[in-house]
Amino acid sequence: METLIAILIGILFAGGVYCLLQRSLVRLVIGIMLIGQGANLLTFAASGLTRKHTAIIKSGETILQAPHADPLPQALVLTAIVIGFGFTAFCLALLHRTYKTLGHDDLEKFNTTDTDK
Amino acid sequence: MFLLLSVALIFMAAFATPAIARFIPHKQRFLFALVPATSFALICSKASDIAQGLAISEDYTWIPAFDINLNFRLDGLSFLMALLITGIGALILTYASGYLKGYEANTRFYTIIQIFMAAMLGLVLSDNLIAMFIFWELTTVSSFLLVGFNHENPDARKKALQALIVTAGGGLAMFAGILLLGNVAGTYQVSELITHAEMIKNHKLYEAIVILICLGAFTKSAQFPFHFWLPNAMAAPTPVSAYLHSATMVKAGVFLLARLTPVLGGTSFWLHLLVYVGGFTMILAASLGLIYRDLKKILAYSTLSVLGIITLLIGMGTEFSFKAAIMMLFAHALYKATLFMVAGSIDHETGTRDITRLRGLRKVMPWTFAAAGLAALSQAGFPPFTGFLAKEYFYGSALDHNMKILLISSAFISSMFLFVLAFKIGFHPFLGRENKKIHAHEAPPTMLIGPVTLGLLSLLFGLFPGPIAKYILSPALASFNTTFHPVKLKLWHGVNTALILSLITLTCGFGLYKLRKKIRQNATGVDDKLNIQFDQSFANGLESFIKFAKWSTKLIQSGSLRSYMIITISAFAGLLLYILLYVGGMPEFYKFSHVKPITLAFLVALAIVTIVACTTLSRMTALLSLGVIGFGITLIYMMYGAPDLAFTQILVETLTVVMFMVVIHKLPRFKDFSTRRKKAFDAIFASIVGMTVTFLVIKAQNLSSKNPVSQIYAETSYLEAHGRNVVNVILVDFRAFDTFGEIVVLSIAGLGVSLLMRNNKKEDTE
């Protein structure tokens, strides 16, 4: 099962990289989002997966009893999801603005710093 | 303390100069000479210790972890150099106050030349080679600024750059040599290196060390084939040339050779390298000097020649030749600084440096003439001047050596040519009939003190060589030999071969001087060919280097995001693969068991949706696919015991989809810009990266750490932070500052989004 998750992560990364290499700016943003999802899942899965056990201390106990999910990667991924959201929002706004200003989204035409009007 | 003080004093004065200078009128700027004069006095106060063969050390730790310390050490050799640097420095600053009276930017001059002076003093006093190298480079940089002092003149800039590139390039080679030496011997202290000398000389890296260090010394002291920068550096104002290019900076190279003689010298490799390079330079430069008409060019070539002689003498490696090298260095500093100042005075008062136009100045410039005459007689080697003593030792050591024939003949040729060069500067402009077209007058007193003092010293130290033997020659010789014994210096040795050779030299030199005009006329053009060739090949080299830089920049900085991505991602994936294949070992695939068909179907569906999201040409399909992926991953979080992640992910995904919906109708349609071939490449490339990441994840899962970091959170979450949800406790308690940072990032992103969107609205309404 974990191997399958690993393959899914690989596919997310592959899809993300493929999109990054395209000339369309919209594709670039999609690529960033895919890699973001893949990276979150990677962090989550890298420490091993425990099914059906959370990282919550049951009432009546004072410490987290094994088996339990590893809380640290979860905390990291939680932060990453939120940051990733902020980043995606910013990228979308930037994409929107760039297209408004330049009228195209062909990355190969972004070589000069000046906008020719 | 006083060695540090003598260096720091000049540094402090240099940095204070811009502030102080505005209170000192131009006429009183000779007061700056008090700074080096103070250092001179400080160093002189140790003369009696030096004369007994003692060395004074001061150690200040600087970066002890790297064995880099400020170890100042005043021994015979550095005593001589320090006296020349501070003593001549004081006279030069006095001279400059007259010479630069009209210059607007002369505050800048005083600042830089004092920085140079302090760096030079630090260089000769440093016992630690790394510290010495830092001072060395400081002299390079400050001399660049001084040579290019007239920076409005493109020619001066070009020549300053040339000097900088040659000497800084050599400096870097030398740095590599120093590092090698330090690695081999385990120390950067010269005084400690000496004790490891035998081991260093037998080490297999010995030749490499010598070549690298000599590259530094030869470029700094302008030895062939790096000689061309020195005549070009005559673009500097004359006080700069008089200081840097006679007594100080160009001597740094030979000083280094002398300093390292007890460490590296004494082998036949060292002997031949130094003797041939020095010998060739001394003859080539002296003969090239014959064909010039420009006073400063002539001086530059005769300086080159003497630097060649000193290199040769150090290379010869006998006690006799070391004595000769010390005397030559000392005598040359005295007479060459004088002659440079004289050339500057002539230039200043007549407006030309062309010796064919300069005649009969003796009446209008009697004092300058006196100084020039004394210095010229010293350079020519007339008894009883110091130059004569130096030449006697030169001949004596050549006669004493087993390469006798070669050495004697080359010594004879170069001494004869140096005679002619000396007379061309010291006598030619002053004798003969006056040139009526030139209206000259005597230089002001500030410009006379320096040359007259040094000219007289050339004579006095020749007449009374006792103090020189006691304070200069014997202690400096100890720096070569590592053992101290007092030596005597006499003017009159009786009639011997060296004396006879000297007399022949004087006679032949005088004869040659009479023929100077003919030589120059016949040889016109020779120099152009020679020198232009060096200049040209330097310029070509520089140009092709710049071309290469442009080409490589274009290659790397192509301006195409795609190639940047490919480079960056290949580096990432390549390193990862390398580690997996060769260091960590490939993971094993073994956890395929217990897969329910429904989970399998779910994961396959996610994979297909991902591929759809990447390839679809419909914006709506892409949006929906991204949504499906996001929610699918939420499910995975749910399955593996991460309810918090699942909640957050659902919220975030929903918001993202909504945001995407808002902008999607304003976004361009997907266009396929790429060709089929490019897309195929991208797909293969992406698959390889994806596979690498998969391997990484599996590998990470296979590894298990015995003491996971999270254990401490699991145990203390409830007891110390009173929270049952460990993930939440980590976020808001254990790592609360990280969360705070996250909030800041999010607010900044929100701010950016709102600005980007708002501006847009305004434009829409306009």
The reply to whether A56 falls in a domain is: no
| Mean predicted confidence (pLDDT) in B672-697 | 87
Would you place residue A112 in the very low, low, confident or very high pLDDT band (cuts 50, 70, 90)?
low
- Is A51 exposed, middle or buried, given 0-12, 13-18 or 19+ CB atoms closer than 10 A? exposed
Structure tokens at B56: 């004074």
The reply to whether A15 falls in a domain is: yes
**Average pLDDT value for chain B:** 87
Residue A95 parent element (H or E): helix A71-102
Query: Would you say residue B198 has pLDDT above 80?
Result: yes
- Inter-chain contact A48–B682, Cβ cutoff 8 Å? no
- According to the model, what pLDDT value does residue B766 have? 42
User: Which residue segment(s) compose the domain that A25 sits in?
Assistant: 2-50+74-107
Would you place residue B672 in the very low, low, confident or very high pLDDT band (cuts 50, 70, 90)?
low
Tell me which of A92, A106, A113 to substitute to probe the interface with B (most B C-beta atoms closer than 10 Å). A92
Minimal C-alpha gap between A110 and chain B (Å): 8
- According to the model, what pLDDT value does residue B526 have? 66
| Mean predicted confidence (pLDDT) in A49-62 | 82
- According to the model, what pLDDT value does residue B652 have? 93
- Inter-chain contact B607–A41, Cβ cutoff 8 Å? no
Count of CA atoms in the C-beta half-sphere (13 A) of B754: 5
- According to the model, what pLDDT value does residue B87 have? 93
Residue of B nearest to A96 (CA): B667
User: How many separate domains does chain A show?
Assistant: 1
Query: Would you say residue B214 has pLDDT above 90?
Result: yes
Chain A residues close to B629, C-beta within 8 Å: 12, 34, 37
The reply to whether A98 falls in a domain is: yes
The reply to whether A78 falls in a domain is: yes
Query: Would you say residue A117 has pLDDT above 50?
Result: no
User: Mean pLDDT highest for which of A40-54, B61-75, B649-663?
Assistant: B649-663
- According to the model, what pLDDT value does residue B308 have? 93
Chain B residues close to A100, C-beta within 8 Å: 666, 760, 763
- Is B191 exposed, middle or buried, given 0-12, 13-18 or 19+ CB atoms closer than 10 A? middle
Structure tokens at B86: 């501070």
Range with lowest mean pLDDT among B90-94, B373-377, B405-409: B405-409
- According to the model, what pLDDT value does residue B245 have? 87
The reply to whether A62 falls in a domain is: no
| Mean predicted confidence (pLDDT) in B638-662 | 90
- According to the model, what pLDDT value does residue B70 have? 86
Tens digits of residue pLDDT in B278-308: 999 999 888 888 888 888 988 999 999 999 9
Gap between the Cα atoms of B679 and B689, Å rounded: 15
- According to the model, what pLDDT value does residue B763 have? 52
Tell me which of B568, B626, B710 to substitute to probe the interface with A (most A C-beta atoms closer than 10 Å). B710
Distance of CA B524 to the CA centre of its chain: 36
The reply to whether A32 falls in a domain is: yes
Among A6, A26, A75, the residue with its CB nearest the CB of B670 is A26
- Give the rounded percent of residues in chain B with a pLDDT score beyond 70: 96
Query: Would you say residue B216 has pLDDT above 90?
Result: yes
Gap between the Cα atoms of B412 and B213, Å rounded: 29
Q: Which residue has the higher pLDDT, B179 or B673?
A: B179
Query: Would you say residue B550 has pLDDT above 70?
Result: yes
Range with lowest mean pLDDT among B51-60, B369-378, B753-762: B753-762
Query: Would you say residue B764 has pLDDT above 60?
Result: no
- According to the model, what pLDDT value does residue B590 have? 61
- Inter-chain contact A78–B693, Cβ cutoff 8 Å? no
| Mean predicted confidence (pLDDT) in B152-159 | 87
Query: Would you say residue B609 has pLDDT above 60?
Result: yes
| Mean predicted confidence (pLDDT) in A8-25 | 91
Range with lowest mean pLDDT among B56-70, B371-385, B608-622: B56-70
Tens digits of residue pLDDT in B312-365: 999 998 888 999 999 999 999 999 999 999 999 998 888 888 888 888 888 888
The reply to whether A67 falls in a domain is: no
| Mean predicted confidence (pLDDT) in B711-718 | 86
- According to the model, what pLDDT value does residue A64 have? 81
Q: Residue A66: CB partners within 8 Å, gap ≥ 6?
A: none
Q: Which residue has the higher pLDDT, B677 or A105?
A: B677
Residue with tokens 């998750």: A5
ipTM above 0.95, yes or no: no
Domain CATH number, residue A85: 1.10.287.3510
Residue of A nearest to B671 (CA): A24
Q: State pTM to two decimals.
A: 0.73
Gap between the Cα atoms of B214 and B275, Å rounded: 12
Would you place residue B519 in the very low, low, confident or very high pLDDT band (cuts 50, 70, 90)?
confident
The reply to whether A69 falls in a domain is: no
Tell me which of A82, A83, A104 to substitute to probe the interface with B (most B C-beta atoms closer than 10 Å). A82
| Mean predicted confidence (pLDDT) in B224-244 | 87
Phi, psi of B58 (to 5 degrees): -135, 130
User: Is the bond preceding residue B36 a cis peptide, omega within 30 degrees?
Assistant: no
B354 Rama sector, left if φ>0, alpha if ψ -120 to 50, beta otherwise: beta
